[in-house]
Amino acid sequence: MLRTLFFFAEMTVLMPFVLARPFAGILLWSWFSFMNPHRLMWGPESDMPWAMIVICATMVGCVVAREPKRFPVNPVTIMIILFIAMFSFGTIFAMAGSDEVLPKYTWVLKVYGVALLTAAMLNSRLRIHALIWVMVLSLAFFGIKGGGFTLLTGGTSRVWGPPGTMITDNNHVGAALLVCLPLMNYLRLQSAHRMVRLGLAAAMVLTTFAVVGTYSRGALVGLVAVTLFLWMKSSKKLASGIAILAVAIAALAFMPSQWGERMNTIQTYEQDGSAESRIQLWTDAWTMAIHRPLTGVGFSGTYSRNVADRIAPGLMARAIHSIYFECLAEQGFPGFFIWLGITVAGWITAQRIIREAKNTAGLEWAVDLARMSQCSIIAYLTAGTFLSLSYWDFYFTMLVAIGATRAQVLLTLGKADRRTWARAAPAQPPLAVPGIAAG
């Protein structure tokens, strides 16, 4: 009850700030979207549409606040706009009923729309840093809790995600924590205080245990891919290799035999029912995409028995369990390539940041963020192969932050005037509050 009161008091205090500065609303909205803190409360607060309230207040704040607004045109935002246009067009031809299509369409539109709004607000290094903090705090809660649970139970029970969210499933929460891990490392690298760095390092260790404790084979594949990527990029390959090996041996020794047996089914997937059904689902998704190559079957089409029977009787009607095949079946080939293009744009932008900002004093943060974002992209692309998280807001918010980081790099290097697409709006004037006035 105490936490509910504290939560309500905090929201009551913070809401006026959202009206005054819409970026405060973006931070709060990110918190509600990624962590769903209200679901951890008791009483009527847990059922209130907090995210809706915050985003409405943010929109009002956008109109009321004197903050300069300039939409950042960069490869990531361009690809997101193209994707919104593409799936909006495809929804006209969706095969499932409107009662199934429209709720998902509205939800996905909200995800990408708010990502664009976030991009418009990320116009300073400190704002980018604050957003990354909120993103990490939101998922670190489940990472620390899950890691502690795994350690206390000896890894005999599975870690599950928060109920009623996008990452409820053990596979989903495993992938989500894996994507969050490199961002934690970015904060650890850039935090000034030793205690905070130690706290983040401890959170990273516990989150790794939580990932392993999900019993998700997809997350394990992603963990291996991320570790290999980090090791390849490491300047001290011997030391980092020994450390990675030590952690891997410790994890293998700690986890019970049932965990090892489940992970071993990766090698014998032909004999595993779960893996077999996934391959069948991917084949069915490919059949749907071939049937409607330009627009796909539309949102929720893969879940509809009616749609599956109209295409080919016998197709499975359920979640596709792959970010690639889910998007391909729902959006068709053009939509799929645009969706993939958002990630490619994010990766190339991160690569450019590393190339341009490397060895430049004052831009170490941007290089660290770009490198760690690339690790997160690898985590999403590998772990996502086995689960349905095509429109995960956390991931696309991170890509938008990469675009904003590039704009800051160009501003610092003095190239922004030549590349008008990268111009960022100046920060807003500080509020004139006595005692807390800026500067």
Q: Which residues bind other proteins (CB under 8 A)?
A: 2-3, 6-7, 10, 13-14, 17, 20-21, 23-24, 27-28, 31, 35, 37, 40, 124, 126-127, 129-130, 133-134, 137-138, 140-141, 144-145, 148, 190-193, 196, 359-365, 411-414, 426-431, 433, 436, 438-439
Rank residues 38 and 292 by Cβ distance to other proteins and give the closer one: 38
Q: What is the DSSP letter of 194?
A: H
CA neighbor of 387 nearest in space, from 336, 301, 323, 330? 323
Rank residues 63 and 433 by Cβ distance to other proteins and give the closer one: 433
Q: How far is the CB of 225 from other proteins (least distance, A)?
A: 29
Neighbours of 126 (CB within 10 A): 9
Q: Rounded CA gap, 348 and 330, in Å?
A: 26
Rank residues 133 and 333 by Cβ distance to other proteins and give the closer one: 133
Q: Rounded CA gap, 70 and 393, in Å?
A: 22
Rank residues 176 and 221 by Cβ distance to other proteins and give the closer one: 176
Following DSSP, what letter does each residue of 99-147 receive, concatenated? HHHHHHHHHHHHHHHHHHHHHHH--SHHHHHHHHHHHHHHHHHHHHHHH
Q: How far is the CB of 31 from other proteins (least distance, A)?
A: 5
Q: How far is the CB of 227 from other proteins (least distance, A)?
A: 25
- Residue 8 CA, distance from chain mean position: 26
Q: How far is the CB of 278 from other proteins (least distance, A)?
A: 33
Q: How far is the CB of 184 from other proteins (least distance, A)?
A: 14
Instruction: Give yes or no for a contact between 168 and 182, defined as CB atoms under 8 angstroms apart.
Output: no
Rank residues 238 and 361 by Cβ distance to other proteins and give the closer one: 361
Rank residues 52 and 413 by Cβ distance to other proteins and give the closer one: 413
Integer-rounded Cα radius of gyration of the chain: 22
Q: Rounded CA gap, 124 and 131, in Å?
A: 11
Q: Is 34 exposed, middle or buried (0-12, 13-18, 19+ CB in 10 A)?
A: buried
Token digits of residue 25? 């609303």
Q: What is the DSSP letter of 16?
A: H
At residue 358, what is the residue type? K
Rank residues 308 and 402 by Cβ distance to other proteins and give the closer one: 402
Q: Which residues contact 237 (CB under 8 A, 6 or more apart)?
A: 231
Q: Is 161 exposed, middle or buried (0-12, 13-18, 19+ CB in 10 A)?
A: buried
SS3 at position 208: helix
Rank residues 245 and 431 by Cβ distance to other proteins and give the closer one: 431
SS3 at position 348: helix
Q: How far is the CB of 257 from other proteins (least distance, A)?
A: 28
Rank residues 92 and 361 by Cβ distance to other proteins and give the closer one: 361
Following DSSP, what letter does each residue of 259-302 receive, concatenated? HHHHHHTTTTGGG-HHHHHHHHHHHHHHHHHHHSTTT-S-TTGG
Q: How far is the CB of 140 from other proteins (least distance, A)?
A: 8
Rank residues 97 and 426 by Cβ distance to other proteins and give the closer one: 426
Q: How far is the CB of 411 from other proteins (least distance, A)?
A: 7
Following DSSP, what letter does each residue of 237-258 receive, concatenated? HHHHHHHHHHHHHHHHHHS-HH
Q: How far is the CB of 157 from other proteins (least distance, A)?
A: 16
Q: Rounded CA gap, 341 and 347, in Å?
A: 10
Rank residues 6 and 269 by Cβ distance to other proteins and give the closer one: 6
